[in-house]
Amino acid sequence: VKLLADTDGDGEIDDVVATTTTSNGGQYLFENLDADDYKVMFGTVAGLTFTTAGAAADEDVDGDSDAGVDGMTDTISLEIGEAERDIDAGLVDPGTASIGDTVWFDADKDGLLGADEEGVDGVEVKLLADTDGDGEIDDVVATTTTANGGQYLFDGLAAGEYKVMFGTAGDLVFTGASRNPAEDVDGDSDANETDGMTDVITLSTGEAERDVDAGLIDPGTASVGDTVWLDANGNGILDGGEAGVDGVEVKLLADLDGDGEVDDVVATTTTANGGQYLFDGLDAGEYAVMFVEPNGFDFTATGADADDLVDGDSDAGVNGMTDTFDLSIGEAETDIDAGLVSENGAPTPMDDELKICADTVGGVSVLLNDTDPEFDLLSIVEVDGQAIAPFGSITTANGTEVTLDDLLFLGQSLSIDATGSAVWSALDIGEMGVENISYTVTDGNGNFATANLEVTFCGDANSVSSLNNSLPTGLVEYQISSSSVEAPYGDEGFDIKIVSAGGDGRFEDVIFEEAYCLSIIDPAAAAENFGTAPINTADAFGIEDATASLFNADQISFANGETALDNLDVINWILNQDFEDNGFTGWEVQRAIWEFTDSFDTDYLSDIDPALGDDANVDFIVSQALANGDGFVAGVGDVVGVVLDPNPATAENSQPFLVAVDWEDVDCFCIDNSGMILS
């Protein structure tokens, strides 16, 4: 306390003339003073502020506060000998202390506020002090509710002793782990686990006690159970007289790793006492039960969803897993059951093979050689690891489309279509590629088995050149049938039958009805029918590979004066018009070709026998060929001309033949395990 006067004569009472300190209960005294004008300047105690002045300092009232907000009194005028014993100052607590912080759900029950643990809003919190002076801190001085993530705050508090009482949320209780209220640790639980009350909290003036927290936990009072039994009649219902099965392992699953999947094992037990099991002491949450299938048994039909509150129906699926179900705090879910039936044997599918051309669709009845011990009807449920339904399709990694056909009386089969596959469509004729396609069958009783379909894709010709290169390289044996060997003549002309082509199934035993001589005068060893026709041998090659040696030197065209070799493009055009299937006879087409290979006007042939063709029709074909055939080149998908050039050429047979072959009949072949070429 300082006494001030005007010692420097400047008219201001601001010069300290004495200083003292309060003692003996706040008393102070300045004595031996001259009569004069004075002021008193009071200091403060840390944290306290001056109370409101009670009256003017010169009112001679003892016990009121004479200090202003800055601790200075008004002017005090002393007379000689006057004792001014009523200059007082009152100090007050400013009410700047506070208590707070968080109520949270202690998910891991460790008593500490984890980074991923959330606050609980809506919890009532009370602040207690001793307001009645009975020495007990049990009087409620403020109440609030947690908000904004479990936060609470009591502010504007005076220094003193307090307690905080926390309420709870729903059926949650207070955590008890790691509680150490004597330590100023933020994020540990300070609430008594029984009543939610903290220990005494002593606040100094202005202190912010922001570490008074409370953790709430699930009391772990829920449970799951009940029975595994032998479902004798397989109806999925625990009927009277059906016995429980002891010794079955049962697992309780939850989502422990936070990935959204209820697939983490939290507890394991084994059935006993008539197939009973129980998981208790559980927190509320989402669970599933996994029953482990014992040897020799399968799970019965599922009775209803796991959370349907029906006791005595089977909740386990074919893999022993129930649906997920939710437990609330304290709930006893004692209706999660599983029925067992004697095991049904798994089917035995067998591997299959298929060879097809890459540009065609092939089918295989893969179930024909598959078996089942109980003779259950098998069905296909997956192809190449992908689920499939009847008449549905999947696409393999190689772009092969597989369709599951399911036809009445014929059963299920797989249709293989690689026409859209960039991998297999790139194969050329003579090339092959293999794709293994798995298929899975079920017997309808929960059993599945997988086998393999090995599909060999054979390339189709990507050009006329590659097709020609695939023709048989050795001598071809063939027979010639002619409708002009015996009278009366027929109008068919010539047919060729390939007897042997080195094992090439595209040609062997195939009769080509559009076959034409390339010389009007060379002999051909033929007969009226194949039964009596001799067997000739020849080299086979594409018309594009023909050379001048195929023809006689004097073969000049009657139609245009070109050599027979030069007119092969025109003749190839004639083949591609399919005249024989469009109102013209075989002899008429043959005569038109002769007029492009030889120097004869063939009109004389109709005089020999009308069956040898109509002159006007022959002239029409020739005129069309002259107008359109020059420069014609057959392409992919066209009719191709295959030449049979006799080897050896004999006096009886030196006639070269041109056979019209449909592209799609010969543009692909597969080789079987014996090396034979399959059409």
- Are 543 and 641 in contact by the 8 Å Cβ rule? The answer is yes
**What does DSSP say about strands 352-357 and 448-458: parallel, antiparallel, or unpaired?**
parallel
- Are 251 and 290 in contact by the 8 Å Cβ rule? The answer is yes
- Are 334 and 226 in contact by the 8 Å Cβ rule? The answer is yes
Average pLDDT, stretch 272-281? 96
Query: Alpha carbon of 322 to those of 288, 319, 408: distances in Å?
Result: 6, 9, 36
Query: Quick one: the chain helix, strand, coil %, rounded to 5?
Result: 10, 35, 55
- Radius of gyration of the chain from its Cα atoms, rounded to whole angstroms: 55
- Are 113 and 96 in contact by the 8 Å Cβ rule? The answer is no
Between CA 402 and CA 380 the distance in angstroms is: 12
pLDDT score, position 184: 52
Strands (E) in 198-317, as ranges, are 201-203, 208-209, 214-217, 222-230, 249-254, 264-270, 276-282, 285-291, 297-299
pLDDT score, position 57: 45
SS3 3: strand
CATH architecture of 1-94: Sandwich (2.60)
- Are 618 and 595 in contact by the 8 Å Cβ rule? The answer is yes
Identify the CA nearest to 676 among candidates 499, 506, 510, 542: 506
- The structural domains of the chain, with segments of one domain joined by +, span 1-94, 97-217, 222-342, 352-461, 489-498+507-665
Q: Which amino acid is it at 532?
A: T
pLDDT score, position 306: 45
Class of CATH domain 97-217: mainly beta
pLDDT, one tens digit per residue, over 376-425 is 999 999 999 999 999 999 999 999 999 999 887 678 999 999 988 899 98
Between CA 579 and CA 577 the distance in angstroms is: 5
pLDDT, one tens digit per residue, over 138-173 is 999 999 999 999 999 999 999 999 999 999 988 999
Residue 276, token pair as written in the block: 């009973």
pLDDT score, position 207: 92
pLDDT, one tens digit per residue, over 68-84 is 888 899 999 999 989 99
Is residue 474 very low, low, confident or very high in pLDDT (cuts 50, 70, 90)? very high
pLDDT, one tens digit per residue, over 514-547 is 999 999 999 999 999 999 999 999 999 999 999 9
Query: Alpha carbon of 153 to those of 53, 101, 185, 214, 518: distances in Å?
Result: 32, 6, 17, 13, 111
Q: Which amino acid is it at 629?
A: G
Domains 1-94 and 222-342 share a fold: yes
Work out the percent of the chain whose per-residue pLDDT is above 90. Answer: 76
CATH architecture of 222-342: Sandwich (2.60)
- What average pLDDT is seen over the chain? 91
DSSP of 76-144: EEEPTT------B--EE----EEE--BEEE-TT-SSB--TTPPB-TT-EEEEEE--SSSS---EEEEEE
Work out the percent of the chain whose per-residue pLDDT is above 70. Answer: 94
Any idea what DSSP says for residue 593? H
Between CA 402 and CA 436 the distance in angstroms is: 12
* Bond prior to 648 in cis (omega within 30° of 0): yes
The Cβ of residue 381 has, within 10 Å, a number of other Cβ atoms equal to: 15
Residue with tokens 């006791």: 311
- Are 249 and 270 in contact by the 8 Å Cβ rule? The answer is yes
pLDDT at 179 exceeding the cut of 60? no
Would you put residue 131 in left (φ > 0), alpha (ψ -120 to 50) or beta?
A: alpha
Find the range with the poorest average confidence among 7-16, 473-482, 591-600: 7-16
Between CA 79 and CA 186 the distance in angstroms is: 61
All residues at 6 or more sequence positions from 308 whose CB lies less than 8 Å from its CB, including other chains: 335
Between CA 105 and CA 174 the distance in angstroms is: 9
Q: How many CA atoms lie within 13 A of 425 on its CB side?
A: 11
Average pLDDT, stretch 27-38? 93
Residue 398, token pair as written in the block: 């190689």
Between CA 206 and CA 204 the distance in angstroms is: 6
CATH architecture of 352-461: Sandwich (2.60)
Count Cβ atoms within 10 A of the Cβ of residue 266 and give its class: 0-12 exposed, 13-18 middle, 19 or more buried.
Answer: middle
Q: Which amino acid is it at 352?
A: D
Would you put residue 619 in left (φ > 0), alpha (ψ -120 to 50) or beta?
A: alpha
Residue 267, token pair as written in the block: 């507890």
Residue 167, token pair as written in the block: 């309420």
The Cβ of residue 490 has, within 10 Å, a number of other Cβ atoms equal to: 17
Between CA 11 and CA 551 the distance in angstroms is: 149
pLDDT, one tens digit per residue, over 559-571 is 999 999 999 999 9
Between CA 579 and CA 566 the distance in angstroms is: 22
Between CA 430 and CA 407 the distance in angstroms is: 34
Read off the pTM: 0.50
* Bond prior to 488 in cis (omega within 30° of 0): yes
